Structure 1
């Protein structure tokens, strides 16, 4: 789906298509027939999306808007297991393949659920960027320059010492074992068991929720909740004391 971000190429393609349709009437008719086909195929998809949106709105109406605490539940559920695996890695004990994968899922989830990173930034994080980390006021700061997101700006996050230790142990104790001869990992920080870059941080996050039998929370959902919480906070701090009782 990379073409969704290529606005310049899309515009160039449409301009060339417009010229061809004006030059060749038969080609124009074929384009019109294809457009009609796409419209027909789009209707059931749009209907399904509309139904799913309504169901989500109904769920929020009945159960209330999720909080950040709700969105980060899987990290709390997984923490005991993660600390156990972390201890094994530190002591160079045997760690099962399933545990290694679960540990990686949790590291990805920390970035998406705690630091509101988009999946593209998690997938794009490189080893060199991880090693170039800076320590500022007790936080470990990392920047991701090459990633596939809507903004394409440098993605930055500031980890706690505990979170950074988790990712560091993934790098030293798990990632090295995933590297295979003949597989080009592109220098990406997170690798799959096959040795290549992870294909979908979104799917990894879903699998982590499934493992702990918790309803899935996407990175997009947690960012929306965080934005809502931030807006409420800004309204609160800007409200005069005399109006607080009506807040």
Structure 2
């Protein structure tokens, strides 16, 4: 009984020490470099199956499939190449496009901005297989992420179009450590962080030579040498050699070796994924062979069962489904290309589809509208030839001139004029009210203000004060008579009695004097005119004296 109690006490103390070790060091004592890559082995087959859907078929992926591709590539950079999460979060498209190929059939990528970017740029080497993965992600998966509806309003603000790794919302990858943890949870594995993997690999380098230790230390962006040696520019050859050493430490010639690791859960997940992935690869190979003899076309008929069975009797049903889906995607793209400029209505799309004469495998108008996107982007919308033509034709002759009630002048843009000149101290509401009143007045002038009946004009001219009566009539029709005389002058002018129908002739002397004055004032001018007109009515003579007519 005492022996059992001692054993229980020892076991409890041992577990407590192990827990303390995990808490203090962040890693389990039994983990090895091979354990750090367990999630890569477990997820590889699922990852390859997803890539097989987008290359070369270019099939649209589900959100979960896009996440798997993103998480796996992030895990490759963090766990396999031991680069900090900041490298994943700050890697740009430009850095991917400017990658260099070394003589050892590896691709070297340099990321300038990351957590320790003030000291040295992060450099890592991808194998030819890994480069293919990254390229498929960049050309096939990443565009799907950027085209998501949630990314359109924040894409430019957050720089999602410049970062290489983007989330399912089309935004830059924000927390690569969380993505790595989610990948471990998906395959029910103990999470391995960047710090844990780095310490494990550093410990494993104790059996390497000093030169190999130096290569690995430089690859991890740190060194035991002096600062000048540590932050010198890395050579591509050394980067590739260090990458191969990390694979050697993990007990694998490649990061995704089929060898089973010490984790039982990793072995089970990898085995299950391998069965599904192998079948996917076989179906893809059979479908590629079917396309050689029966390519997918817009108006083509699906290969019959005999043709599919000759290609693959085992997968003839899967070939049937894939061929139909491929033709459906082609037809949807064809319909969308016809309605690229403006979003059409569902009835219009449905009518256009019926005119194509398709009898089977016909896309619905609702599904087409769901995938509709405007051609081009907002930034290039102003470059459209149609918009440029409208801007070119937009001139002042097409504008609606309105009368300013303050300065009594017509303005091409009354609201701007009032804001800058006549009512610059007034509120926007007051300015808008004046503009609306001017619009209403202009509309009334167009409706009835331009027509004068002869009888009405005759009544005005026969009035005791025709000038005042005429001005009142014009103002009633929203017209303006500037420079009107003062009331005293107007009264003095209107006090002369005039009989209707009488003819008043101007004295010849006054006319002669006026002619002489005009000649003397305009002496030296090229063109001179002397008008000697006798007005039949006194009102006309009065209007001439006031400068209203010439």
Q: Deviations over 1:225-247 (max 9, x none)?
A: 11111133237x99xxxxxxxxx
- 1:80 equivalenced with 2:39 (yes/no): no
In 2: Cα distance, 1:201 partner to 1:173 partner:
21
Q: Deviations over 1:159-181 (max 9, x none)?
A: 01111111111111111122243
- Residue 111 of structure 2 corresponds to which residue in structure 1? 144
- Residue 19 of structure 1 corresponds to which residue in structure 2? none
- Residue 134 of structure 2 corresponds to which residue in structure 1? 167
Residue 123 of structure 1 contacts residue 190 of structure 1 at CA under 8 Å; is this kept in 2?
A: yes
Within the candidate set 220, 224, 233, 2:195 is matched to: 220
- Residue 61 of structure 2 corresponds to which residue in structure 1? 95
- Residue 462 of structure 2 corresponds to which residue in structure 1? none
Shift of 1:57: 6.7
Unmatched segments (≥5 aa) in structure 1:
1-50, 239-247
Q: How does 1:113-128 map to 2 (within 5 A)?
A: 113-128=79-94
In 2: Cα distance, 1:228 partner to 1:95 partner:
40
Task: Specify the structure having the higher radius of gyration (Cα).
Answer: 2
- Residue 110 of structure 1 corresponds to which residue in structure 2? 76
In 1: Cα distance, 2:122 partner to 2:26 partner:
30
- Asked which structure has the greater RCO (Cα within 8 Å, sep 6+), the reply is 1
Q: Deviations over 1:137-182 (max 9, x none)?
A: 1001100001124864200000011111111111111111222433
- 1:153 equivalenced with 2:120 (yes/no): yes
Residue 118 of structure 1 contacts residue 219 of structure 1 at CA under 8 Å; is this kept in 2?
A: yes
Shift of 1:60: 9.4
Q: How does 1:37-56 map to 2 (within 5 A)?
A: 54-56=20-22
Query: Normalised by the size of structure 1, how large is the TM-score?
Result: 0.69
Shift of 1:94: 3.2
Unmatched segments (≥5 aa) in structure 2:
1-16, 214-550
Residue 85 of structure 2 contacts residue 177 of structure 2 at CA under 8 Å; is this kept in 1?
A: yes
RMSD value, Cα: 2.8
In 2: Cα distance, 1:93 partner to 1:150 partner:
38
Q: Deviations over 1:168-210 (max 9, x none)?
A: 1111111112224331242110111222111100000000000
Q: Deviations over 1:56-96 (max 9, x none)?
A: 179999x7441111010000000110110111110212321
Flag the 1:59–1:115 CA change in 2: closer, same or farther, 3 A. closer
Residue 104 of structure 1 contacts residue 190 of structure 1 at CA under 8 Å; is this kept in 2?
A: yes
Shift of 1:126: 0.3
Flag the 1:147–1:93 CA change in 2: closer, same or farther, 3 A. same
Within the candidate set 143, 147, 152, 1:181 is matched to: 152
Give the SS at the match of 1:141: strand
Runs of 4+ aligned residues of structure 1 deviating over 6 Å after TM superposition are 57-61
In 1: Cα distance, 2:25 partner to 2:96 partner:
39
In 2: Cα distance, 1:139 partner to 1:156 partner:
12
Q: Which has the higher helix share?
A: 1
Within the candidate set 190, 208, 218, 2:165 is matched to: 190
In 2: Cα distance, 1:131 partner to 1:234 partner:
35
Shift of 1:55: 4.2
Residue 26 of structure 2 contacts residue 196 of structure 2 at CA under 8 Å; is this kept in 1?
A: no
Flag the 1:144–1:97 CA change in 2: closer, same or farther, 3 A. same
Give the SS at the match of 2:123: strand
- Count of residues in correspondence between the two structures: 187
